């Protein structure tokens, strides 16, 4: 049920009927409408006029020539044409043109309808032959030649009398006759409408106009509640549905619809009946204009499929701040309250800007969202809008502090915030430090620097005033950063001046549009499981926001959402995050690899310092590429322990090479693997060439390493490491000069690597001696996921077969062609009950593998743990930032697990396994340079592609898919 | 006016009880009143002990436990101090009288071992607060104790993981403990200076950390049921 409060919001678009809604009739003076439409467009509002009549009538009457940035479109001719209107006039942007056959069918349908009316005593005639439609006058009497809208009641009565006299039930019966006649004429989907006087037979109607508008707006991130639909005939008239109800298409389901018409038979549910005619409608437009000019806080579309309400309890406040981070790849701003407070952990960081000490961390930048708020502010009402990348704060108390903030996805250096409250809020200093040199009035400058490390400068331009009895603050901020040295204050000032010139509303419009474009290549639809779908979208949202798409991208374990691990880059980046971005945003994946490429020198130095050749990437990396893994840590039992991952968890060297190859395989970026990517793969392979030890039997070993399972710290011949190295050496050989000695040597070494595989059982031994450990199962102690080392003690766990996370099984996930055929099942059966899933990296990998093993329903259970890990703060550490690897694992489990996607040269392998609870799973992504969509249902797969695509389905079936889509049956 | 009640008798516990009560009085900016339920013999009369410390003494009559509970229930009384048991030697660390009082009282009770050394005139600055990580145990401390404390008192929280509270995920335990610790403080006891997260035996870890941080007082919130393995 819609109530009047629904229109007390700022709309981004207004779609309205013309005759009867905006103007009383077609001869009315439309100057007031013109002024409002042009002013709304100037304020950034998109306006769409929908009418059945032709452009001459509407444009001739409206005569608006808006200059933007908002747009004016006329969607006319009952859904058959759309015109864009600008300062230069009117230009057609879309038109449905009937074929000659369709025109013949329309003539036949109209003539047949007139004949059938005449046969039953109603004289009618075809009065116009317009684009895609024919108009039949069913009351061709002089008195009713051109009835004004105001006489709709009398007209309805006159037509009813005319029909009743001839024995017709009502107008609906006439419409039904027209439908029958049209179908008989060969029109499969006739659009029959009536304004009481006429019945029209057509190929299009207002629903086509509304669909066009919905699509156009959705491409700009404007959906649902951001759209106002105005009309005057939503309710039925004379038994026929109101013509404006055709605008209520499913694509605009959540839009706010209002009627200013008489609505003699009432309004349909979901439409707010205001009455008052065009005068009332113009009041609404004026109100919208006033909200814009008063800089009121914009609205969001609270679509439950796209919005995440943040937890509001003080206990969850810091986790909520991480969840609500607004990031644009370059910067991240946690969802800390604008007024600050003792329980908050505000953070503004810039990707790759670290301190330069022995334990570097991301430099905490100026707190650009700070406001002065008298008294305590409400903690409830925070909502993250995934679709448009904005964070809204709107407490239940209408007079409470309301804010909206975003980090522009369109302009990397733009940050913006608006706030309003009944209380006298005001801008506050964005830095706790002593204010810098005075800026111009309304501006403030702050800089965060680190000794010899990075620096971040922010300039904020503030406006504050009052509107609607509310105090309003608008802040537009810009940042500059240096990885080493001072940030450029002048550059920052210039940026904020540019952005202030663009203005908040336009920055927001650009930002929404940029997110809409991001989602176009990254859609996730899980039908039948809205919670799973929202969690997956939450994951994709934060992944898309985690890294920039040019230059280099340092993706820390918690991305830009928190300070845990100092923002250090682990294998999480290459193995869990990069595969997602390679498919959703390849330029960002490339930037992640550039981060490693630019640190090859440091990696070479690290290898040399160990007496090895090639390049050794560090387990933890920050600004300069040296190993920044801390030497010691404190375990939960209070003891200080050495951290040995930096010394021994060397599989990251192969992981980086794997990521480079994976990026190339998905993106089709051949130049990368022929250039910098090749160097990356070969230099790292050289490290293994000297790091590997050959025993007297000629078998290759890696002694003193650590696999992903960190419960067993220093082991020999970790199967994961050895097999990854084997894959790495073979791939490097393929990329080497054909026939070179180096390639031959690497192939030979690869073939020599021991891998712990037992053909008798089909199992890989996780490392040398693992079989001899105490054969404990985690389920004997607890229900996973659980931190077994905390529960049982690190020493006890190390002596047992209980493992922290997927280790051997990571091979089946990353390099399935490198493990023994058929070995997934035996290893899942063996290692599954021994896996504590005490790492956030584990559940999603097991999810993917259980799906591949044909157990999608079991997989779903683990998927839901991964999906809720941060949303429910299952580990208690989300306050330190979101677990980015897990977010990556969520998407990977959907793509590589449930859909069974894999790059096979130019072909895409698709082999879905859907859990019963899901009706369909659909992902869109880019594959080898082109957008692709895969939708799997339980019995069919639909491939959407912009270019022809070869799909390898189950059982080796090769399917050539042609654009725009191709559906094939699937028996999974 | 705030008052701390010191329940004394003629046993060896009287002296440490009075001295501890003075410390609690300073901790909470409250005056101290001693109460004595008459009818017991002892090595030194409560009157002499209280007088020596300028503590007023009130004599109560009747059964001991109801008498003490009545004194504790008085509106101005914010806390009470009583001896754990009569002698340093005993089958249980907390005697029946003390147990009955702490089970029934709805205010903070400080239970003093009879052999506590050096209680006299020792200020309380560092309080060790073992918490179970649930709302009930935190609320008792936050609502019952924290409002009474002077500003210079440091609370150090201890949580010993149990199978029910052990984290489900810790990617790098030796790195995550600091985040987890900060969160524990923020969620369960924001006024605390820090939280120590431990594994092992609860009583053992309380003992260990008490010595490590030189705690002046251990603050236990409990369900007043006296179940085995709990605060008693």
Lowest-confidence segment of A129-143, A465-479, A805-819 by average pLDDT = A129-143
Identify which of A785, A790, A874 has the shortest CB distance to residue B173: A790
- Give dist(CA A788, CA A782) in Å, integer: 8
Local structure of A796: helix, strand or coil: helix
For the segment A944-967, what is each residue's pLDDT rounded down to a tens digit?
999 999 999 987 899 999 999 999
DSSP string, A19-52: BTTTBSSTTS--HHHHHHHHHHHHTT-EEEEE-S
Angle between helices A676-691 and A719-735 (to 10 degrees): 130
For the segment B185-232, what is each residue's pLDDT rounded down to a tens digit?
988 998 998 899 988 888 888 999 999 888 888 888 877 766 655 554
Mean pLDDT on A532-538: 98
Across the interface, whether the CB atoms of B173 and A635 are under 8 A apart is answered: yes
Which residues 151-190 of B have a C-beta within 8 angstroms of A?
161, 163, 166-180, 182-184, 186-187, 190
* C-alpha A607 chain-centroid distance: 40
For the segment A636-667, what is each residue's pLDDT rounded down to a tens digit?
667 788 999 999 999 999 999 999 999 999 99
- Give dist(CA A258, CA A270) in Å, integer: 9
For the segment A896-907, what is each residue's pLDDT rounded down to a tens digit?
999 999 999 999
Radius of gyration over alpha carbons of chain B, in Å?
Answer: 18
- Report which of residues B140 and A203 the model is more confident about: A203
CB-CB contact of A254 with A217 (8 Å): no
Read off the pTM.
Answer: 0.92
Q: What pLDDT, on a 0 to 100 scale, did the predictor assign at position A147?
A: 86
Residue in the structure block whose two tokens are 């001072």: A486
Across the interface, whether the CB atoms of B174 and A877 are under 8 A apart is answered: no
From chain B, pick out residues whose CB is under 8 angstroms from the CB of A841.
171
Q: What pLDDT, on a 0 to 100 scale, did the predictor assign at position A542?
A: 98
% pLDDT > 70, chain A? 99
Quote the minimal CA–CA distance from A876 to chain B in Å.
6
* Nearest in space to A666 (alpha carbons), one of A571, A576, A587, A570: A587
- Give dist(CA A881, CA A332) in Å, integer: 11
Q: Is pLDDT above 70 for A814?
A: yes
User: Quick one: pLDDT band at residue A353, thresholds 50, 70, 90?
Assistant: very high
HSE at residue A171, side-chain half, CA atoms within 13 A, is 27
Q: Could you confirm whether A710 is annotated as catalytic?
A: yes
Q: Is pLDDT above 90 for B122?
A: no
CB neighbours of A969 closer than 8 A, spacing ≥ 6?
A: A939, A940, A941
Sort A942 into a burial class: Cβ within 10 Å, 0-12 / 13-18 / 19+: middle
CB neighbours of A280 closer than 8 A, spacing ≥ 6?
A: A260, A274
CB-CB contact of A348 with A326 (8 Å): no
CB-CB contact of A378 with A400 (8 Å): yes
Residues in a beta bridge with A455: A449, A482
Q: What pLDDT, on a 0 to 100 scale, did the predictor assign at position B43?
A: 44
CB-CB contact of A521 with A925 (8 Å): yes
Query: Residues A710, A765, A922, A937: which is the catalytic one?
Result: A710
Residue in the structure block whose two tokens are 């806390």: B79
* Nearest in space to A937 (alpha carbons), one of A923, A921, A951, A924: A921
Q: Is pLDDT above 60 for B119?
A: no
A879 to chain B, any CB pair closer than 8 A? The answer is yes
From chain A, pick out residues whose CB is under 8 angstroms from the CB of B175.
564-565, 630, 633, 643
Local structure of A682: helix, strand or coil: helix
Q: What pLDDT, on a 0 to 100 scale, did the predictor assign at position A928?
A: 97
Sheet holding B31-37, edge to edge: B57-60, B31-37, B3-8, B77-83, B109-112
Q: Which residue of A has its CA nearest to B173?
A: A635
- Give dist(CA A241, CA A266) in Å, integer: 11
User: Quick one: pLDDT band at residue B88, thresholds 50, 70, 90?
Assistant: low
HSE at residue A204, side-chain half, CA atoms within 13 A, is 27
Quote the minimal CA–CA distance from A787 to chain B in Å.
5
- Give dist(CA A570, CA A886) in Å, integer: 13
For the segment A185-240, what is each residue's pLDDT rounded down to a tens digit?
999 999 998 888 999 999 999 999 999 999 999 999 999 999 999 999 999 887 78
- Give dist(CA B213, CA A843) in Å, integer: 39
From chain A, pick out residues whose CB is under 8 angstroms from the CB of B170.
636, 787, 790, 838-839, 875, 877
- Give dist(CA A522, CA A887) in Å, integer: 14
Q: Is pLDDT above 90 for A418?
A: yes
Please give the angle made by the CA atoms of A202, A205 and A208, to the nearest 5 degrees.
130
ipTM for the assembly: 0.78
The phi-psi region of residue A313 (left if phi > 0; otherwise alpha if psi is between -120 and 50; otherwise beta) is beta
Q: What pLDDT, on a 0 to 100 scale, did the predictor assign at position B117?
A: 58
DSSP string, A509-538: HHHHHHHHHHHHTS-EEEET-HHHHHHHHH
Identify which of A632, A638, A841 has the shortest CB distance to residue B171: A841
Q: What pLDDT, on a 0 to 100 scale, did the predictor assign at position A396?
A: 84
For the segment A282-309, what is each residue's pLDDT rounded down to a tens digit?
999 999 999 999 999 999 999 999 999 9
**Mean pLDDT estimate for chain A:** 94
Please give the angle made by the CA atoms of A573, A579 and A581, to the nearest 5 degrees.
85
Most B CBs within 10 Å, among A379, A877, A885, A886, to test the B interface: A877
* C-alpha A358 chain-centroid distance: 37
Q: What pLDDT, on a 0 to 100 scale, did the predictor assign at position B64?
A: 87
For the CA atoms of A350, A519, A902, A689, the dihedral, rounded to the nearest 10 degrees, stands at: -10
A791 to chain B, any CB pair closer than 8 A? The answer is yes
- Within 10 Å of residue A234's Cβ, how many Cβ atoms? 27
- Give dist(CA A539, CA A866) in Å, integer: 10
% pLDDT > 90, chain A? 87
- Give dist(CA A250, CA A207) in Å, integer: 10
Q: What pLDDT, on a 0 to 100 scale, did the predictor assign at position A758?
A: 98
- Give dist(CA A315, CA B189) in Å, integer: 10
For the segment A429-470, what is each residue's pLDDT rounded down to a tens digit?
888 665 556 677 788 888 888 888 999 999 999 999 999 899
Across the interface, whether the CB atoms of A317 and B178 are under 8 A apart is answered: no
- Give dist(CA A395, CA A609) in Å, integer: 57
**Mean pLDDT estimate for chain B:** 83
Q: Find the distance separating the first CA and the last CA of chain A, reported in whole Å.
A: 42
Lowest-confidence segment of A14-18, A111-115, A617-621, A791-795 by average pLDDT = A791-795
For the segment A71-91, what is each residue's pLDDT rounded down to a tens digit?
999 999 989 999 999 999 999
Structure tokens at A353: 């800007």
Mean pLDDT on A826-831: 98
CB-CB contact of A240 with A233 (8 Å): no
Across the interface, whether the CB atoms of B169 and A343 are under 8 A apart is answered: no
**What is the number of residues in chain A?**
972
From chain B, pick out residues whose CB is under 8 angstroms from the CB of A636.
161, 170, 173, 177, 180, 197-199
């Amino acid at each position: 049920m819609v109530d009047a409060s629904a229109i007390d919001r700022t709309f981004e678009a207004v779609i309205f009927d013309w005759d009867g809604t905006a103007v009383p009739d077609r001869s009315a003076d439309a100057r007031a409408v013109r002024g409002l439409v042009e002013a709304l467009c100037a304020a950034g509002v998109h306006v769409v006029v929908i009418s059945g009549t032709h452009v001459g009538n509407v444009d001739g009457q409206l005569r608006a020539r808006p200059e933007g940035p908002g747009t004016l479109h006329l969607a006319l001719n009952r859904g058959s044409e759309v015109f864009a209107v600008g300062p230069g006039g009117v230009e057609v942007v879309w038109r449905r043109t009937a074929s000659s056959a369709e025109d013949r069918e329309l003539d036949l349908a109209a003539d047949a309808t007139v004949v059938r009316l005449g046969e039953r005593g109603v004289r009618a005639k075809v009065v116009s032959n317009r684009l895609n439609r024919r108009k039949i006058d069913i009351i061709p009497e002089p008195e009713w030649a051109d009835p004004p809208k105001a006489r709709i009641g009398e007209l309805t009565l006159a037509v009813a009398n005319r029909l009743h006299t001839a024995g017709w039930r009502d107008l609906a019966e006439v419409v039904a006759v027209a439908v029958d006649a049209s179908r008989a004429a060969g029109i499969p989907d006739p659009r029959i409408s009536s304004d009481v006087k006429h019945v029209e037979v057509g190929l299009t109607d207002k629903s086509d106009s509304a669909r066009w508008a919905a699509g156009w707006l959705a491409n700009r991130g404007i959906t649902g509640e951001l759209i106002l639909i105005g009309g005057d005939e939503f309710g039925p008239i004379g038994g026929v549905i109101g013509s404006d109800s055709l605008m209520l298409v499913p694509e605009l389901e959540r839009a706010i619809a209002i009627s200013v018409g008489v609505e003699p038979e009432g309004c349909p549910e979901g439409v707010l009946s205001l009455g008052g005619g065009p005068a009332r409608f113009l009041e609404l437009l004026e109100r919208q204009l006033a909200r814009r000019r008063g800089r009121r806080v914009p609205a969001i579309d609270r679509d439950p499929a796209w919005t995440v309400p943040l937890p509001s309890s003080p206990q969850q406040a810091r986790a909520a701040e991480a969840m609500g981070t607004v990031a644009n790849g370059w910067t991240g701003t946690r969802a800390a309250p604008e007024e600050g407070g003792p329980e908050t952990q505000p953070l503004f960081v810039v990707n790759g800007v670290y301190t330069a000490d022995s334990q570097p961390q991301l430099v905490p930048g100026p707190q650009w969202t700070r406001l002065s708020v008298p008294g305590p502010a409400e903690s409830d009402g925070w909502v993250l809008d995934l679709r448009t990348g904005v964070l809204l704060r709107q407490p239940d108390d209408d007079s409470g502090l309301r804010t909206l903030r975003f980090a522009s996805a369109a302009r990397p250096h733009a940050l913006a915030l608006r706030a309003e409250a009944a209380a006298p809020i005001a801008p506050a200093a964005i830095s706790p430090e002593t204010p810098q040199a005075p800026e111009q009035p309304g501006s403030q400058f702050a800089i965060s620097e680190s000794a010899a490390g990075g620096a971040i400068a922010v300039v904020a331009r503030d406006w504050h005033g009052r509107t609607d009895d509310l105090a309003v603050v608008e802040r537009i901020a810009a940042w500059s950063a240096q990885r080493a040295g001072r940030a450029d204050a002048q550059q920052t000032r210039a940026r904020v001046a540019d952005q202030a010139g663009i203005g908040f509303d336009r920055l927001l419009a650009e930002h929404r549009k940029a997110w809409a474009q991001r989602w176009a290549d990254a859609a996730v639809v899980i039908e039948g499981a809205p919670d799973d779908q929202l969690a997956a979208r939450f994951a994709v949202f934060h992944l898309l926001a985690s890294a920039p798409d040019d230059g280099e991208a340092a993706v820390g374990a918690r991305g830009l959402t928190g300070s845990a691990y100092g923002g250090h880059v682990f294998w999480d980046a290459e193995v869990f995050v990069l595969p997602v971005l390679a498919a959703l945003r390849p330029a960002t994946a490339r930037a992640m690899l550039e981060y490693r490429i630019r640190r090859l020198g440091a990696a070479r130095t690290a290898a040399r310092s160990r007496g090895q050749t090639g390049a050794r990437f560090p387990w933890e990396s920050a600004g300069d590429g040296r190993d920044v893994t801390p030497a010691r840590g404190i375990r939960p039992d209070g003891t200080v322990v050495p951290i040995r991952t930096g010394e021994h968890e060397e599989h990251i060297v192969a992981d980086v090479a794997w990521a480079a190859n994976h990026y190339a395989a998905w993106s089709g970026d051949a130049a990368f693997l022929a250039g910098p990517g090749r160097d990356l793969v070969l230099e790292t392979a050289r490290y293994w060439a000297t790091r590997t030890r050959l025993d007297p039997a000629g078998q290759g070993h890696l002694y003193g390493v650590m696999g992903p399972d960190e419960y067993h710290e220093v082991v020999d011949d970790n199967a994961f490491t050895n097999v990854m190295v084997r894959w790495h050496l073979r791939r490097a050989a393929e990329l080497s000069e054909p026939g070179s000695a180096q390639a031959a040597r690497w192939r030979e070494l690869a073939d020599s690597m021991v891998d712990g595989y037992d053909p008798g059982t089909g199992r890989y031994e996780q490392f040398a001696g693992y079989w001899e450990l105490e054969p404990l199962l985690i389920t004997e102690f607890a229900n996973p996921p659980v931190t077994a080392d905390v529960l049982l003690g690190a020493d006890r766990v190390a002596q047992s077969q209980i493992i922290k996370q997927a280790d051997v099984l990571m091979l089946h996930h990353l390099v399935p062609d490198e493990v023994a055929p058929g070995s997934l099942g035996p290893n899942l059966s063996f290692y599954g009950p021994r896996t504590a899933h005490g790492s956030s990296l584990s559940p999603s990998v097991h999810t993917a593998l259980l799906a591949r093993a044909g157990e999608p329903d079991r997989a779903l259970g683990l998927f839901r743990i991964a999906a809720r890990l941060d949303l429910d703060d299952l580990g208690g550490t989300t306050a330190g930032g979101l677990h980015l690897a897990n977010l990556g694992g969520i998407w990977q489990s959907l793509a590589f697990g449930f859909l069974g996607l894999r790059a096979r040269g130019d072909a895409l392998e698709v082999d879905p396994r859907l859990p019963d609870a899901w009706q369909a799973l659909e992902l869109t992504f880019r594959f080898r340079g082109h957008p692709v969509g895969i939708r799997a249902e339980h019995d069919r797969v639909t491939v959407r592609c912009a270019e022809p695509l070869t799909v390898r389905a189950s059982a080796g079936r090769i399917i050539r898919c042609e654009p725009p889509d191709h559906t094939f049956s699937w028996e999974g | 006016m705030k008052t701390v009640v010191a329940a004394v008798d003629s046993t060896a516990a009287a002296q440490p009880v009075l001295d501890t009560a003075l410390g609690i009085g300073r901790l909470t900016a409250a005056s101290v009143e001693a109460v004595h339920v008459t009818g017991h013999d002892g090595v030194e009369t409560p009157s002499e002990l209280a007088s020596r410390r300028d503590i007023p003494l009130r004599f109560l009559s009747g059964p001991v436990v109801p008498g003490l509970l009545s004194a504790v229930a008085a509106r101005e009384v914010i806390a009470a101090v009583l001896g754990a048991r009569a002698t340093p030697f005993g089958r249980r660390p907390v005697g029946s009288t003390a147990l009955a009082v702490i089970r029934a009282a709805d205010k903070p009770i400080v239970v003093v071992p009879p052999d506590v050394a050096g209680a006299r005139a020792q200020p309380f600055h560092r309080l060790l607060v073992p918490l179970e990580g649930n709302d009930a145990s935190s609320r008792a401390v936050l609502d019952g104790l924290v409002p009474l404390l002077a500003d210079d008192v440091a609370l150090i929280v201890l949580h010993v993981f149990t199978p029910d509270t052990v984290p489900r995920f810790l990617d790098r335990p030796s790195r995550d403990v600091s985040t987890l610790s900060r969160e524990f403080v923020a969620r369960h006891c924001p006024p605390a200076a820090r939280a120590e997260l431990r594994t092992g035996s609860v009583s053992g870890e309380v003992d260990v950390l008490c010595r490590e941080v030189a705690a002046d007082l251990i603050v236990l919130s409990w369900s007043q049921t006296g179940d085995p393995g709990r605060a008693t």
